[in-house]
Chains A and B, each alone.
Chain A
């Protein structure tokens, strides 16, 4: 294959280019092409608008004197702890949710009897529709008290691991609970995306491995997982996006101390997340405090963009092997 530009190969040839000069264009084609181009441009305009708003509103906070910024230590020291909290909660949620999502998706697509599979798929989809505040309430009212005993044990016995440094929170309103709640919340979307891909694994490839004498698990490793690889990444990233931006569930669960940076998941002193911090602080803010909060929002926006671009880069790198050709 001659080396062509990646971007050219990805897209189907534009209809315009293939149309010989002078061919009459029908009204329907013109309307539809205009409408779809308009929709495509609109999404860019909206994205640019959001970015412009964030930058404009964050601008004063970015250049303000350190003492004037909320907390009095400057914008960087204000945002860093909540950014840290955001990243660590989303990352651990992903670590818990991704293997579970892959396992559930595999069970639905390749192990469960058809009836059980469709029922389970339906239930998972329903989970996606539960509002996040419900998960937050469940986390603080049910899950948090349940974690008190186990976290004390963790602090006593595995305290040498920084994650379980302790002292364990007496209320259970810890980063660990927030992480678990986030993991449960992103499970449905990740599972749904991964399951769809697994179900579309070509029968031909499954049979190819089985005919070689592969067991079911070996067949899954040879045919299903490689085929679903980009869906696993894509599904997790959708989940990560949701976890990064989740507001209410985290705001309810965490007793926020927004200037703490710690890997300790089970202590009552824990960092907040950007979204939760904005939600909790915004009502009482005015003037430069608002600009500071919006600056943290800008950071969240940038992080989310970077995560998505990173995920796409990973997916693209092995496009040649994706089976799309």
Chain B
């Protein structure tokens, strides 16, 4: 579990359009890396290249390297399906499977990986995942009920439980709290802090206070200019980025002068 990701000179294209250019960064295991920046600067796009989800857009491609513990995720013969089994993802809006019960939602990924899993093992894994997601106490009496009956915050924690049930090496979060109220947001943030003991976490957020609260390292993305591709401006410890960034545009952004 918890692997290091190294990104080297990553260019992200949609067909001929260069969306993000020249990203190089190292994401440390057992830590939270936050990606901040104005809308449209490519942070979500970049996040989705880490588990090859961005390939779902026709003609999207990348140049450069993404290494997870020395293994190139974009190497020849690497199956994106396999990559996604090791790199979990939590989305902006909670998306439990509406036709599945709470239990089945958590078990969904487990059943994909291991078709013959025993019921008792499955029960144990579902409980452990829900406990890790701080949701067990709230749902243990209604596991057969549909996941869509939970509140937004509970649904998002259900999605986190679903993602960590398959024991991924890395957990990607794309603005996981942007559709949630402050109380639910706090529950998710507490959870992120607990989860980083075991996982490598990358979180995209529009909320700079959130980046400060949960992350160890922060990367600032920005467009070079209007019409130019986005890119990583700088990445450093969160304290450094928010108090004494190296780059003027980072300073302007974190102090609220634009964005």
CB <8 Å contact, B112 and A218: yes
How would residues 66 to 109 of chain B score, 1 for a CB under 8 Å from any chain A CB and 0 otherwise?
00000000000000011011101101010111111100000011
CB within 8 Å for A211 and B163 given contacts A321-B146, A323-B148: yes
Complex contacts, A208 vs chain B, CB 8 Å: 91, 95-97, 159, 162
Given contacts A208-B91, A222-B97, contact A213 B109 (CB under 8 A): yes
Verify A212–B162 contact, CB threshold 8 A.
yes
Selected contact of A1 from candidates B51, B86, B149, CB within 8 Å: B149
- Asked whether any CB of chain A lies closer than 8 Å to the CB of B166, the reply is yes
Give the shortest distance, in Å, between A117 (CB) and chain B (any CB).
12
Are B53 and A322 in contact (CB-based, < 8 A)? Answer: no
A212: which of B88, B146, B149 is its contact (CB, 8 Å)? B88
B149 touching A211, Cβ below 8 Å? no
Q: Does B56 contact A (CB under 8 A)?
A: yes
Pick from A209, A215, A325: contact of B148, CB below 8 A: A325
The CA of A218 and the CA of B84, in the complex, are separated in Å by 13
B95 & A229 in contact (Cβ 8 Å cutoff): no
B142-183: CB near A (< 8 Å → 1, else 0) gives 000010110000000001001100100000000000000000
Interface residue? A196 (CB, 8 A): no
A218-260 interface (Cβ within 8 A of B): 218, 222-223, 226-227, 229
Inter-chain CA distance A167–B108, complex, in Å, is 51
Q: For the complex, would chain A's binding face be called helix, strand, loop or mixed by DSSP majority?
A: helix
Give every chain A residue within 8 A of B109 (Cβ-Cβ): 212-213
Q: Is the CB of B84 within 8 A of A211?
A: yes
Residue of B86, B88, B91, B99 near A207 (CB, 8 A) is B91
Flag whether A210 is at the interface (Cβ < 8 A). yes
Do the beta carbons of A323 and B98 come within 8 Å of each other?
Answer: yes
Cβ of B217 to closest chain A Cβ, rounded Å = 23
Are A209 and B108 in contact (CB-based, < 8 A)?
yes
CB distance from A208 to the nearest CB of B (A): 4
Residue of B nearest to A208 (CB): B95
Complex partner residue of B89 from A205, A211, A222, A226, CB under 8 angstroms: A211
Q: How far is the CB of A110 from chain B (nearest CB, A)?
A: 12
Query: B186 interface residue, CB < 8 Å from A?
Result: no
Q: Which residues of B sit under 8 angstroms from A325, Cβ to Cβ?
A: 98, 148-149
CA distance A246 to B51 in the complex (A): 52
Known contacts A212-B109, A212-B166, A213-B166; is-contact A204 B95 (Cβ 8 Å): yes
Identify which of A202, A222, A322 gathers the most chain B CB atoms within 10 Å of its CB. Answer: A222
Give the CA-CA distance A210 to B100 in the complex, in Å. Answer: 16
Is B239 engaged at the interface, CB distance under 8 Å to the other chain? no
Does B97 contact A213, Cβ atoms closer than 8 Å? no
Query: Interface size bucket, A side?
Result: 20 to 34
Q: Which residue on chain A has the smallest CB distance to residue B89?
A: A211
- With A204-B91, A320-B146, A321-B146 known as contacts, the answer to whether A210 contacts B56 (CB < 8 A) is yes
Q: Which of B53, B81, B95, B113 contacts A205 (CB 8 A)?
A: B95
Query: Are the C-beta atoms of B85 and A205 separated by less than 8 Å?
Result: no
Residues of B within 8 A of A318 (CB): 99
Contacts of A321 in B (CB 8 A): 98-101, 146, 148
A214 close to B (CB within 8 Å): yes
Contact (A207, B53) CB under 8 Å given A213-B84, A321-B100, A325-B148: yes
CB-CB under 8 A from B91, the residues of chain A are 204, 207-208, 211
B163 proximity list for chain A (CB < 8 A):
211-212
Contact A212 B108 (CB under 8 A): yes
CB-contact partner of B81 in A213, A222, A223, under 8 A: A213
Residues of B within 8 A of A204 (CB): 91, 93, 95
For chain A residues 300-325, which have a beta carbon within 8 Å of chain B?
318, 320-323, 325
Taking a contact as CB atoms under 8 Å apart, the answer to whether B95 and A207 are in contact is yes
A-B contacts, 23 listed (Cβ < 8 Å): A202-B95, A204-B95, A207-B56, A207-B95, A208-B97, A208-B159, A210-B84, A211-B91, A211-B163, A212-B85, A212-B108, A212-B166, A213-B81, A213-B109, A213-B112, A215-B81, A222-B108, A226-B98, A229-B99, A321-B148, A323-B98, A325-B98, A325-B149
Q: Across chains A and B, which 5 residue pairs bring their CB atoms closest together, nearest first?
A: A213-B85, A323-B98, A226-B99, A211-B89, A212-B109
Q: List chain A positions with a Cβ less than 8 A from chain B.
A: 1, 202, 204-205, 207-215, 218, 222-223, 226-227, 229, 318, 320-323, 325
Q: Beyond the given A207-B56, A212-B163, A222-B108, could you list 18 further A-B residue pairs with CB under 8 A, ordered by the A residue number?
A: A202-B95, A208-B96, A209-B97, A210-B56, A210-B84, A212-B88, A213-B82, A213-B85, A213-B86, A213-B113, A215-B81, A226-B97, A227-B98, A320-B146, A321-B146, A321-B148, A323-B99, A325-B149
